[in-house]
Amino acid sequence: MCRWAGSIRGSGRTYDEGRASPRLLAEREVTLELLGNIYGENEYDTQPPFGTCEMQHCRESPLVPNVDVISPLTEVRGRNWRRIEGVDMIRGLAIFFVLMNHVNIRLLLANVPYTQGIPKQIVSSLVWNGQFGVQMFFAVSGFLITSASLRRWGTLSRIRARAFYQMRFARIGPLLLLLLVVLSGFHFAHVDGFVVSAKQGGLARAWLATLTFHVNLLEGRLGYLPGPWDILWSLSVEEMFYLFFPIACLLLAGRKLLVPMLLVFVVLGPFARTIFTHGNDIWQEKSYLGGMDAIALGCMTALLCARVRFSRRVLQTAWAVGAALILFILGFSRTAYRWGLGAVGVEETVLAIGTCLVMVAASQCDWRAPRAFRPLLALGRNSYEVYLTHMFVVLGLFGIFVKLGKPMTLVPVLFVLTITLAAGLGGLVARSFSEPMNRWLRRRWGDGAEKLGAAIDGDMARTAPMSTTTTSGGITS
């Protein structure tokens, strides 16, 4: 029997998947398509998990402005049920720091001393948080993949591996393959910044590493790849997570061993960024285990939210503590390092914990971002497309900057233009290619919502809100 059975207010009906008629299943598929809740339509499905708070209002807190604590099936007109705005804000913040970091690296490699006279902490906070941004992506990935899987299959021990892999490929595969083709064209055209040299393994080796999820391992052995290839290391970490997640769920979830395994990954994360690197600076940043602690924390956060309905006070506390931890690591990184957090590798673990606490509050509250943050929300919604395509913008604009003689007065313009154009390119690619391909592949492989693992069962989908209008105002990755 479905986990959601009998949980709708005013409805005593239940839904038994094994006895559902073809007509009911067809209706469910159409309804889910309208809701946008088939897994992966916008990188990850960010509908709130089902462990939401019973309390109806928590507007009084200045820490959680304009918040309604909701039930995920409560009908709210004008509510966009496709997104959790707090999670999109996190992703927008994460991709912002990645973009700032990559522009900064180009400037430093070109010996542009643009940071002179600026306090070191401000410089660190603005342009050296790229790695932290990726770690935030990892935490979001674990949270959303786990919560979406729970909604579709009721319990992780019943996850359907084939459907899981198909949906992940439908979301990630088309754009990644297109990117590889474009990068290969630039490589053969000998465009500066895109050529994979023989010392770096050559083009064929870069393809193999990308398709077999070990770009990070290749770089750890042979050195950094060109920028547009280098960014694919984080996908290798996430794709390895996707590969083993359903297997681990099927083998361990039913035996109550999944959470202990996730705790092991959390413990090993700091060691992977320190002791296990054996002095390899690249592996310190890009190892599999170095990102798995954030992913594991995200997974456990989703499991907790699915089981526990938190009170308003707890959600406010989670929001405040999580935001404080994120602010501390991103805004006071030099202090954190002086305290020894960086030396023992726990900086990124602390950041992941803060990210997870914010996601707890965001997923169980109808929080709406202020209007001024709409650009950041848009950046977060298309973070996968922005991430894969932004190096074309970075290298293109930087080439113009160099031809103009590297004027210091244009450095701020370079940063602003890069973020603006990268966001625009990512949004264009999402609307014109990756989202249509995602939908087409899901329809081709789906053969009915029951085979792809739907988020909401048929009878219940009829009572869920149909509006997709957003009334609020603003790593894969």
Please state, in angstroms and rounded to a whole number, the distance separating the CA atoms of residues 118 and 408: 14
Alpha-carbon dihedral 329, 332, 335, 337, rounded to 10 degrees:
40
70 in a domain, yes or no?
Answer: yes
7 in a domain, yes or no?
Answer: no
CA 390, distance to chain mean position in Å, is 16
201 in the Ramachandran plot: left (φ > 0), alpha (ψ -120 to 50) or beta? Answer: left
Provide the 3-class DSSP secondary structure of residue 326. Answer: helix
Residue-wise pLDDT tens digits, 226-237: 999 999 999 999
The answer to whether the CB of 133 falls within 8 A of the CB of 94 is: yes
Number of domains in the chain: 1
Beta pairing partners, 365: 69
383 in a domain, yes or no?
Answer: yes
Among candidate residues 102, 82, 76, 78, the one with its CA nearest the CA of residue 35: 82
Write down how long the chain is. Answer: 477
Check residue 150 and give its pLDDT.
95
471 in a domain, yes or no?
Answer: no
Check residue 79 and give its pLDDT.
36
Check residue 81 and give its pLDDT.
40
Q: Which residues of the chain have pLDDT under 50?
A: 1-81, 447-474, 477
Q: Which domain holds residue 108?
A: 17-461
Check residue 83 and give its pLDDT.
75
Q: Within 10 A of 416 (CB to CB), how many other CB atoms are there?
A: 11
Residue-wise pLDDT tens digits, 311-356: 999 999 999 999 999 999 999 999 999 999 999 999 999 999 999 9
Check residue 368 and give its pLDDT.
86
Check residue 237 and give its pLDDT.
97
Beta pairing partners, 200: none
93 in a domain, yes or no?
Answer: yes
Please state, in angstroms and rounded to a whole number, the distance separating the CA atoms of residues 97 and 30: 38
Check residue 69 and give its pLDDT.
38
470 in a domain, yes or no?
Answer: no
In this structure, what token pair is assigned to residue 382? Answer: 């298309």
In this structure, what token pair is assigned to residue 404? Answer: 């103009």
Provide the 3-class DSSP secondary structure of residue 7. Answer: coil
Please state, in angstroms and rounded to a whole number, the distance separating the CA atoms of residues 144 and 118: 38
Contacts of 19 by beta carbon, 8 Å cutoff, 6+ apart: none
In this structure, what token pair is assigned to residue 446? Answer: 């789906």
How many Cα atoms within 13 Å fall on the side-chain side of residue 300? 22
DSSP alpha helix (H) spans, 332-369: 333-338, 347-364
137 in a domain, yes or no?
Answer: yes
pTM over 0.85: no
CB-neighbour burial class of residue 48 (10 A; exposed 0-12, middle 13-18, buried 19+): buried
Task: Fill in the amino acid letter for 427.
Answer: G
454 in a domain, yes or no?
Answer: yes
Check residue 107 and give its pLDDT.
97
Query: Which helix (H) or strand (E) is 437 found in, with range?
Result: helix 435-446
